[in-house]
Amino acid sequence: MYFDGFQSFLDMGGYGLYVWLSFGVSFLSLAWLWLDSFFSKKALFKNVHAEQARLARIKVASENSENNGVQV
Amino acid sequence: MWKWLHPYAKTERTYQLCQLLLPWFSVFGLFIIILATVWGLAFAPTDYQQSDAYRIIYVHVPTAVLSKSLYIAMAVAAFVGLVWQVKTSFMAMMAFAPVGATVTFVSLVTGAAWGKPMWGTWWEWDARLTSQLILLFLFLGVISLYKAFDDKQQAGKAAGVMAVVGIINLPIIHYSVEWWNTLHQGATIMKLDKPSMPPEMLWPLLLSILGWILVCGAISMLRLQNEILQRDLKRPWVVKLALNEHVWGDKK
């Protein structure tokens, strides 16, 4: 490691604020974008599941009503 | 000659290609970006003039390089979509745009955080900084224009024209440091001469550029998959795919 200790690593030669601000913003933005993309994909699959479940319910309902002789 | 490209106009093939490449880009990208960041922050030597403030270079340069590359990728996708009417192209354009906007934003913020201690100001309306800000507005413009149309074919065309026209900004950004008198320094690595940086500082920089490229590639592919899924939500192949996928909070 280039620095003497953890304190001097955090201090960054007196420029700690600017260095850690830069790295913080960079990796938070990147992580946010990555997680957003990942969870959007999950949400899309969940939509398909919900839609399939809805279609299945409609099918069951229409079969039941046919048995009772009721128009849907 | 371009025949091998044709199957990828089919959304399903493109989705599968992304699915194949995604784990590689994600794992290697994440590994390299962490390695390069730790190296750059803790192990690279300090700069005799700028002290440790120069370490901002390890996030500033990769994002600045990528902001331009992603714009080119987005504009090429838009051009292919406009000329050959390939709808997957417009989806690719919309996959690149948010990634490009994010890295452009990061390059501006890290540039400001570097400018404050070195130039004494967070922001200056000079050529390099202003043209980079315009790049961010172009990305945001493409995204909002696309979202303004309900018909996604129309949306793709409108946003595509904007993306293609906006490419004029790229040479302006690149040459701004030569054409105008600016606070921003000239090129360090992207020039014909040999890089003006010692290897023990250059290596972590090159690695971090590679890491950012891979991670942004992974995110772009993930977003392209999302665009495809969104469009094909009711098609049988998506339904089949989704039913094989475990979804949280789903009663089986």
pLDDT tens digits, B78-106: 999 999 988 899 999 999 999 999 999 99
Closest among A33, A7, A14 to B55, alpha carbons compared:
A14
Q: Which residue has the tokens 């260095």?
A: A19
CA dihedral of B194, B197, B202, B205, whole degrees rounded to 10: -100
Side chain identity, residue B200: E
Total residue length of chain B:
252
Percent of chain B with pLDDT over 70: 94
First to last CA, chain A: 74
Instruction: State the smallest CA–CA distance between residue A65 and chain B in angstroms.
Output: 25
DSSP class of residue B46 equals: P
Q: Which H/E stretch holds residue B24?
A: helix B11-38
Residues B175-201 pLDDT 10s: 888 888 777 887 776 655 666 788 888
**d(C-alpha A45, C-alpha B242), whole Å:** 5
Enter the tokens of residue A7.
């304190």
User: By the 8 A CB rule, do B232 and B22 touch?
Assistant: no
Q: Any idea which residue has 């023990």 for tokens? A: B200
The domain ranges of chain A are 30-65
Burial degree of B71 (CB within 10 A; 0-12, 13-18, 19+): buried
| CA neighbor of A48 nearest in space, from B146, B231, B90, B92 | B231
Verify whether the Cβ–Cβ distance B250 to A14 is below 8 Å: no
A59 CA: distance to closest CA in chain B (Å): 17
Q: What is the pTM of this model?
A: 0.89
The angle formed by the CA atoms of residues B72, B100 and B174, to the nearest 5 degrees, is 50
pLDDT above 90 as % of chain B: 61
Distance separating alpha carbons of residues B242 and B233, to the nearest angstrom: 9
Our CA angle for B139, B145, B146, nearest 5°, is: 95
State pLDDT tens for residues B44-67. 888 878 888 889 999 999 999 999
- The answer to whether the CB of B152 falls within 8 A of the CB of B73 is no
User: Is B244 part of the contact surface with chain A (CB cutoff 8 Å)?
Assistant: no
Residue numbers in A near B53 (CB within 8 A)? 12-13, 15, 18-19
Q: What is the ipTM of this complex?
A: 0.86
Token reading at B115: 């400018």
Q: What are phi and psi of B148, to 5 degrees?
A: -75, -20
Looking at the complex, report in whole angstroms how far the Cα of residue B49 sits from the nearest Cα belonging to chain A: 12
Q: Map residue A6 onto helix, strand or coil.
A: helix
